[in-house]
Amino acid sequence: MRLFKERRYISMISSERDGEEVTLMGWISSIRDHGNIMFVMLVDRDDEIQITVKRDNPLFTRFKELKEHSSIGVKGIVKSSKNAPRGIEIIPTLLEVFSISKMIPPFSIYSKSIPNMDLRLDIRAIDLRRNTLRSIFKIRYGILKAIREFLDKNNFIEVNTPKMISSATEGGAALFPIFYFNREAFLAQSPQLYKEQLTMAFDSVFEIAPIFRAEPSRTNRHLAEAISVDVEKAFIDYTDAMELLEDLIIYSIEYIKKYNIKELEILNIKFDVTKPFPRYTYTELIDRLKEYGAKIEWGEDFSTENLKLLGEMMNGYYFITDWPTKIKPFYAKPKSDAKISETFDLMHNELEISSGSSRINVKEEIIERMKSQGLNPNSFDYHLRVFDYGMPPHAGFGLGLERFLMTICKLDNIRDATFYPRDIERLTP
Ligand code: AMO
């Protein structure tokens, strides 16, 4: 269609184009009808513009029939106007109606008050027209571009690993079983073992892909399907991996500060993030929590209440290092004092956004660790096999993309950091 070819984005229209004829596409965000004059706001993916239709305009009666959310194309003359938003308006000369909306959403996507999450998710594509949400997802895209650019500059290559797998990597509880032809298989909880293997061929690898966790409870920080940024590198240990992760976080923040200025303004976000991020050992924090009167013993994972307490003590990003070996996965490398491991979590206040470790690269040691966690080494034969061919020392981390985005955009609910959230109660849309 000719009209489509002529299309301009609203953000390209400014008072410099005064008098020019332009073609715009989008949907109607609001209509103000004053009898003899109508103001129709047209939005597209990044901006909004006023279309002013007076009674003497031949299109007046056709504009009268339109409803909010309808999708239209408009050809018109750009006119400077002091009273219009952004100082410009469009005087229409042609109207193409693509789709008249039949329903009014059960909430206004333009109001500041945020309606019930489930109501919004039921018509997510409409909810995503909300300016704040569109800003969040543009920042998400900025972060993805930054991560790829950063890792590319550091000589990583992007890989893809199977999402249908035969055995658990992150503990058995949170697995999704699936039918795989005539046998049982699982959705991958992480690309852990594959990314480790790939360091044998490529040295430095990363993957940005879904991970699946059958989380039994509905919380504001867990999804059943999340995106993980997995990074793995040969010939480094967990201290190098922490530095790499820290640099990746800083690089991403600098990137969006440069390329997402408008979105950061809409969300009213300012950053004050510098490195190095503070590093605390697990043992240090247990002692601190105990001083605070918290109920926790060395060897236990932090409960939600204890994480809240930690969140109150901290300000921004920090690492928790050197975790008890027994509460970390079998592939994490124990220190010379085998009770403690070369592991870390990157936290932001009370939220864990990444975890990583030096990995075991000796077959007998990893078999030992599997057994001590009640896992059957035979079901990992496909993985253990490659240890016989020169497995290098290596380390890496998994960064939860949605959780990272939550810390950037200051979101309380992880559902606003993903397009179509999946949780125990939600499998649609
Ligand atoms: P872990 O299980 O800690 O480690 O996961 C890594 C990061 O992924 C994110 N994440 C989640 N985000 C949303 N919903 C979930 N249900 C969810 N589960 C995990 C978190 C978390 O910090 N293989 C290791 C990583 C490694 O050692 O390289 C792993 O999967 O942000």
- Sign (positive or negative) of CA dihedral 118, 123, 129, 134: positive
> Using CA atoms, how far apart are residues 396 and 379, in angstroms rounded to an integer?
23
Query: Ligand 1 center to residue 379 CA distance, Å?
Result: 22
pLDDT (average), residues 301-319: 96
pLDDT tens digit string along 191-232? 999 999 999 999 999 999 999 999 888 999 999 999 999 999
Comparing 14-18, 236-240, 282-286, the range with the smallest average pLDDT is 14-18
- Residue 173, pLDDT > 70, answer no
DSSP category for residue 9 = -
Residues 355 and 192 sit within 8 Å (Cβ to Cβ): no
Residue nearest to atom 8 of ligand 1 (CA): 400
Provide the token pair at 99: 């789709």
Domains of the chain: 4-99 (2.40.50.140), 125-278+314-417 (3.30.930.10)
pLDDT (average), residues 330-353: 98
> Which pLDDT score, from 0 to 100, does residue 163 have?
97
What is the pTM for the complete model shown? Answer: 0.96
Strand, coil or helix: what is 205?
strand
Hey, how many other C-beta atoms are within 10 angstroms of the C-beta on 186? 20
> Which pLDDT score, from 0 to 100, does residue 104 have?
82
> Which pLDDT score, from 0 to 100, does residue 168 have?
79
> Using CA atoms, how far apart are residues 109 and 29, in angstroms rounded to an integer?
9
Round to the nearest angstrom and report the end-to-end CA distance of the chain. Answer: 31
| Percentage of the chain modeled with pLDDT above 70 | 99
> Using CA atoms, how far apart are residues 114 and 108, in angstroms rounded to an integer?
9
- Residue 1, pLDDT > 70, answer no
Active site residues: 213, 215, 221-222, 352, 355, 403
> Using CA atoms, how far apart are residues 360 and 378, in angstroms rounded to an integer?
18
> Using CA atoms, how far apart are residues 40 and 43, in angstroms rounded to an integer?
10
Strand, coil or helix: what is 269?
coil
> Using CA atoms, how far apart are residues 427 and 425, in angstroms rounded to an integer?
7
Query: Ligand 1 center to residue 354 CA distance, Å?
Result: 6
> Which pLDDT score, from 0 to 100, does residue 105 have?
82
Residue 271's alpha-carbon distances to 49, 189, 400, in angstroms, are: 30, 32, 20
pLDDT tens digit string along 60-74? 999 999 999 999 999
Query: Ligand 1 test: best mutation among 236, 403, 407, most atoms within 8 Å of CB?
Result: 403
Query: Ligand 1 test: best mutation among 206, 222, 228, most atoms within 8 Å of CB?
Result: 228
- In the chain, the amino acid numbered 232 is E
pLDDT (average), residues 301-322: 96
Residue nearest to atom 24 of ligand 1 (CA): 398
CB 402 less than 6 A from any atom of ligand 1: yes
> Which pLDDT score, from 0 to 100, does residue 46 have?
86
Pairing of strands 225-234, 204-212: antiparallel
Provide the token pair at 351: 């939220």
Residue nearest to atom 23 of ligand 1 (CA): 192
- Residue 172, pLDDT > 60, answer no
Atom of ligand 1 nearest to the CA of 223: 14
Q: Which residue has the tokens 């690309």?
A: 191
Query: Ligand 1 center to residue 404 CA distance, Å?
Result: 11
Residue nearest to atom 12 of ligand 1 (CA): 400
> Using CA atoms, how far apart are residues 164 and 388, in angstroms rounded to an integer?
25
Strand, coil or helix: what is 97?
strand
Atom of ligand 1 nearest to the CA of 189: 30
pLDDT tens digit string along 71-125? 999 999 999 999 999 999 999 999 999 999 998 888 877 777 778 899 999 999 9
Query: Ligand 1 test: best mutation among 159, 170, 190, most atoms within 8 Å of CB?
Result: 190
> Using CA atoms, how far apart are residues 415 and 410, in angstroms rounded to an integer?
13
Residues 13 and 44 sit within 8 Å (Cβ to Cβ): no
pLDDT tens digit string along 233-259? 999 999 999 999 999 999 999 999 999
Three state DSSP letters for 321-365: ECCEHHHCCCCECECCCCCEECEEEEEECCEEEEEEEEECCCHHH
- Sign (positive or negative) of CA dihedral 16, 20, 22, 28: positive
> Which pLDDT score, from 0 to 100, does residue 418 have?
98
Averaged pLDDT score across all residues of the chain = 95
> Which pLDDT score, from 0 to 100, does residue 366 have?
97
Atom of ligand 1 nearest to the CA of 195: 28
> Which pLDDT score, from 0 to 100, does residue 113 have?
74
CB 233 less than 6 A from any atom of ligand 1: no
